Structure 1
C-alpha cells in the first residue's frame, strides 16, 4: 500500500471514529434532557423533567425564587403581579390568567414542561394535569419555615441548584436568629389584615403566623382563630388587647379597592393603643406578605421588615 492510499485510509478511520463519538455524545445529551425525577407533594406524586425549559408558575413566592435562581419562565398570571416582580408583566411572558381563574386555553397553547401551583389553584389541580405535569408548592402556614424549605429543596432538585438553595437557606436561618434576640424585648404584638375598612386578626399557626412562630414575637392572645381569612375583629378589640406593636397588611394596596388601611386606622379608638402612641403601627409590604410569601426574595424581605421594626 503506497503512502497516499495509507493516508486516505487513516483519514477515513478517524472520521468514522469521530462520528461514532458524536453519536454517543448526542445520545447522552438526549438522555440527560429527558431525565425525570419523582416529586412528592401535597396533592400527588408527579414525575417532573429535570431542568424543564417551559415553566408556568401560579405562585409568586415560587416565581421570585426562580427569578433569584436565574430560571426563566414561560407564563405567569399577570393580573396582580407584585411590584417587585413587575418585569413579568411584559409581553416577554405569556399571560395565563389570574390566580383564581387560570386561562387553560393559553396554558395548553404554551404546552409547558412543568406547571407549579399553590393553594389558590389547588381545586383545579386535575385540570392542570390534563395539560402538563403539575406540582403543588404552597406553604403550610402551620409549619411555615419547614414547608418553605421543602419547597426550595424541590426547586433545587428540579433545576439542579441544590448548593445555591442550601446557601440561601443558611443565610435566612442566620437572619432569623438575629431577630429572635430583639424579639425577646417586645411584650406583645398583633398582626391584622385591613380590607375595605374592616380588620382581621392573625395569630400563631396562621397565614402570617411566622411573626410569632418563627420570629419569636409574643402574640396579644393565643386563641386567635386560625383561618385563611383571619378572625374578624372590631376596633374595640384593639383597645382591649392594647398591643405594643401593631403590624398591618393592607389588602387594598395589594389588589385595589376604595378604603386603605391608613384610612381605616385613623380613628380615636386606634389612637388609644400603645402601638399608635409609641409610633409602633407598622405597615408591612403587602407585595411580600399578601401576594407572595414563601419565596427566597419575599422571605428575606419579610425578615428585614420585622427586624427593622424592633431594633
Structure 2
C-alpha cells in the first residue's frame, strides 16, 4: 500500500509540472514543444525583449551584458524592472538561467547554438537568428515568438500596425531617397564597422528607399554582416549619407577628420554625416526598435534636403 501511494504521489507530482497544453514551434534548431502560455520567459538577446515588449509581456530573465541600462526605457516602460540579469548576451550564465526555473528560453542562432542542448535541458528553448538577421527576418521572428508565448493573434495585430507605420515612413523618405546612398556604421577607439545591406539597419535603410553604398548578401555570417573598414575602404564606398554611432569618445573616426580622404567623402562635403546612438542603432532590433530608428532618422533628415 505504501509503495502504491508513493507511486501515485510521484505520478501526481509529475503531472503538476507538465504544462496543461503545449504548442509546437519551428525554429532554427528544429521543432520544440513549448507551454501554450509560458509565464517564466528568459531571453538571451535584446531583440527578443523587443518582441515581448511589443505585446506587453515581461520576461523573468534577460541577457543584458550585466548592464541593466542596455534594456532601454522604451522596453522597461512596458515590461517593468522585475527581471533578473543572466549575464552577457554572448555567454549568459547557465546557472542563473536555471535558478529562474524558466518555462521558455529564447536564444540566438549565432551566439547560443553551442549551448542549445544544455539550455533545452533547463527549459524548452527556441533559437532565432537575431544577430545576423535583417529587418524582415526580425518581423518573422516576432511572429514565431508570438506563437511561442501563446499570443499569436496579438502579435499579428501589432505587426500589422507596425507595417502600416513603417510604410508611412517609407513613403515620406522615398520622396528624397531615390538614387541616394546611405550607410550606417559604429566606431570605437580601434576600428569602424559598417552594417552591410544584409544587416538589420542596412535592410531598413533599403526599405526607406536608400541605395546601398556597399555590397553584401545575407549569408548569416557575422563578418559579412558587420564589416571592418579602413578609411581608404570608406573612401572607396563613399556614401552620400553617413550615419555614425560611437561606442567611445573619441572614436577612431575622430582621428580621421583632418585626413584628406575623410574630408573628400561626399557625406562630409555636403554636411550629411549624422551622429546616432550606437547602442540603439547597433544592438537593438525588432518592432519597437525599428519605429524608434525611423523617428530618429526623420529628425536627422529634417531640414537637410
TM-score after normalising by structure 2: 0.77
1:301 and 2:297 correspond: no
Partner SS state of residue 216, structure 1: coil
Q: Deviations over 1:38-86 (max 9, x none)?
A: 0010012110001211111111111122123221211112414243346
Would the aligned equivalents of 1:248 and 1:261 in 2 still touch at CA under 8 Å? no
Partner SS state of residue 209, structure 1: helix
Q: How many residues align?
A: 275
**In the alignment, which residue of structure 2 is the partner of 1:151?**
141
Offset at residue 244 of structure 1 (A)? 1.1
Give the distance between the partners of 2:269 and 2:134, measured in 1 at CA. 34
1:249 and 2:249 correspond: no
Pick closer, same or farther for the CA change 1:264–1:224 going to 2, 3 Å: farther
Match of 1:289 among 258, 273, 281: 281
Match of 1:228 among 222, 226, 236: 222
Match of 2:271 among 279, 282, 286: 279
What pairs up with 1:65-214 in 2 under 5 angstroms? 65-78=51-64, 79-80=66-67, 81-84=70-73, 85=75, 92-118=82-108, 119-139=110-130, 141=132, 144-145=135-136, 147-178=137-168, 179-180=170-171, 181-182=174-175, 184-214=177-207
More moved, 175-184 vs 274-283: 175-184
More moved, 261-270 vs 63-72: 261-270
Offset at residue 287 of structure 1 (A)? 2.9
Pick closer, same or farther for the CA change 1:191–1:159 going to 2, 3 Å: same
Pick closer, same or farther for the CA change 1:110–1:141 going to 2, 3 Å: closer
Pick closer, same or farther for the CA change 1:299–1:91 going to 2, 3 Å: closer
Q: Which has the larger radius of gyration?
A: 1
Partner SS state of residue 222, structure 2: coil
Give the distance between the partners of 1:174 and 1:86, measured in 2 at CA. 24
Alignment gaps of 5+ in structure 2 = 1-15
Q: Deviations over 1:241-265 (max 9, x none)?
A: 3321012233x2xxxx564366345
Give the distance between the partners of 1:225 and 1:234, measured in 2 at CA. 22
Give the distance between the partners of 1:44 and 1:289, measured in 2 at CA. 30
Offset at residue 133 of structure 1 (A)? 0.5
Alignment gaps of 5+ in structure 1 = 1-29
Would the aligned equivalents of 1:83 and 1:287 in 2 still touch at CA under 8 Å? no
Partner SS state of residue 102, structure 2: coil
Offset at residue 213 of structure 1 (A)? 3.9
**In the alignment, which residue of structure 1 is the partner of 2:30?**
44
Offset at residue 190 of structure 1 (A)? 2.3
1:238 and 2:234 correspond: yes
Partner SS state of residue 211, structure 2: coil
CA RMSD of aligned residues (A): 3.2
Give the distance between the partners of 2:208 and 2:132, measured in 1 at CA. 14
Give the distance between the partners of 1:186 and 1:308, measured in 2 at CA. 21
Offset at residue 224 of structure 1 (A)? 8.6
Give the distance between the partners of 1:97 and 1:240, measured in 2 at CA. 39
Give the distance between the partners of 2:144 and 2:50, measured in 1 at CA. 15
Partner SS state of residue 100, structure 1: coil
